[in-house]
Amino acid sequence: MRGLKIGVFFESRVIRAGASGAYRPNPQATTKLVPGHPGLNGYRKHLFLIDYSDLFRVISYRISPVDSGARMRPGKSEFSGKKFGGCGRNKGSMPQIEFMETIDPALAGRKESLPPLSLVRMHSLDREKIEEIKKKENIPVVVVFPTSGDEELLTLEREIQILQPLMGRLIDQIWIAFGGSEHDDVPLMAKKYGAEVFYSRWNGMNDAGRNDSGKGFSMRGLLYHLCTQKGLTDPRSIVEFIDADIREGYFNPRWVIDPVGSILWFEEIDVAKIVYHRPFGGRLNSFITPFISVFDHPTINPLKNILYLLSGEIAGTLKFWLSVPFKQSFGIEMKILTSLALNKVGLRDNGADLNHVLQVFMGEMDHKHSALRSTGKVKGLDAMAKEVFQTFLEDLSTEGLLQMREGLAFSDRLQISTVTPITCGGEEIGTPGKLDLPSREKTFSPLKELPEVQLVCPWIKP
């Protein structure tokens, strides 16, 4: 335990766990203490371990019994269903935490075959070595920010600013997959930093509808554009998608260096998925994880080892991106994961797709939170949940792992009871009602099945 102290990291110093005040557990953020804020109260029971020898970085977010002498690190919990007490007490009834081993790229070597969904930590890769590999092997790297409009302008601009030192070294191009119009402010901002803008409604895909939209739709459209119009055809090319609404203080260049670097370093890795802990969010992710635990099947069980299932940040080779099917909107992250778990991508001729997928643990993250409930104008977390759960169940059904009988079918509607508050025109105590919205995402086939993509990518096998 030498070099370790118990406490909470804050502005390059340690705030004792019993302190009172507001705290955003983020080593890059500038935050002021506000006495009595509930965000810090209670840390007396939930302690963090800070490694003074590692530039004051929080080692991890998982809780270990303090008196066990163990370091905190990512892990997975198995609950026995019994009541359990505080950290370090009633050990016999505590949840059993199996710590996840992390991979040291330098020790593993470039040709190492890794276990499925292996985990590497932020700062695990040497940036200079990664840049040297990229240059020597002449592998293009493109970073993409999907965004629907000007609502994310400020966070998007900050993220692009942060990545500027990597331009021309690790990143060749930055693109914005934009759902807005050329008259919005995002295109003007992009021009200032040399970023390209792709308007998703001008996608050019022959299998897309005129009114189609959504995050997954924009991602697929941009990939199609890069491949058929911009000459990005090398199967080793790396494209990373990053959400445009990451809050200030959480994003840094390692969000590109480590996932892109993992694919460049490990010859057997085609996909690097960023994972993290969200201390102030992750509501939907908190429910989809135990929902998947309802099922016990060899193809599904590996997904239970993913630290954050619904993270929107993922890097992959062009071969991967052209081989994976897409959901139109909220279901895109789940569609990617189930396709890999069910071996629908075909990253190699032999072996499971998940053998070529890596997790990159970035510590903590937060972004803009969606409204909990949908309204007639805006889709909320309930609509997102419906699409994510339905995507998962649809894929199980298509694979024959789940059977729908006696008229049971997947609904095209989101039908929920709701209460309209007084601020939205309801009564003083709220007005009960029902909400019925269209809710069915399209599923798009892999881009490699389109003739125009096959024409420019002769390496694609029919």
Q: What would the two tokens of residue 330 be?
A: 């909220």
Among 397, 160, 189, 339, which residue's Cα sits nearest to residue 255? Answer: 160
d(CA 77, CA 166): 37
Question: Do the beta carbons of residue 123 and residue 54 sit within 8 Å?
Answer: no
Q: Mean pLDDT over all residues of the chain?
A: 82
Instruction: Give the pLDDT confidence of 201-256 residue by residue, as tens digits.
Output: 888 888 888 888 899 999 999 999 999 999 999 999 999 999 999 999 999 999 99
Q: Apex CA 239: angle with CA 238 and CA 242, to 5°?
A: 140
Q: Which residue has the tokens 């308007």?
A: 199
Q: Which residue has the tokens 């500038």?
A: 30
pTM higher than 0.95 for the full model? no
Judged by average pLDDT, the poorest of 123-137, 197-211, 290-304 is 197-211
> Can you give the pLDDT at residue 103?
94
Q: How confident is the model at residue 307 (pLDDT cuts 50, 70, 90)?
A: very high
d(CA 385, CA 370): 12
Q: What would the two tokens of residue 247 be?
A: 């809050």
Judged by average pLDDT, the poorest of 157-161, 321-325, 376-380 is 376-380
Question: Do the beta carbons of residue 170 and residue 127 sit within 8 Å?
Answer: yes
Q: What is the mean pLDDT of residues 414-430?
A: 86
Judged by average pLDDT, the poorest of 15-29, 136-150, 326-340 is 15-29
Q: How confident is the model at residue 432 (pLDDT cuts 50, 70, 90)?
A: very high
Question: Do the beta carbons of residue 125 and residue 265 sit within 8 Å?
Answer: yes
* Cα radius of gyration rounded to whole Å, the chain: 23
Go through the domains of the chain in sequence order and give each one's CATH number: 1-80+92-98 (no CATH), 105-369+443-456 (3.90.550.10)
Q: What would the two tokens of residue 311 be?
A: 């993270």
Instruction: Give the pLDDT confidence of 40-53 residue by residue, as tens digits.
Output: 333 333 333 333 33
> Can you give the pLDDT at residue 281?
78
Count CB atoms within 10 A of the CB of residue 403: 8
Judged by average pLDDT, the poorest of 95-109, 235-249, 321-335, 354-368 is 95-109
* Alpha helices in 378-446, H assignment, sequence order: 381-398
Among 103, 104, 112, which residue's Cα sits nearest to residue 266? Answer: 112
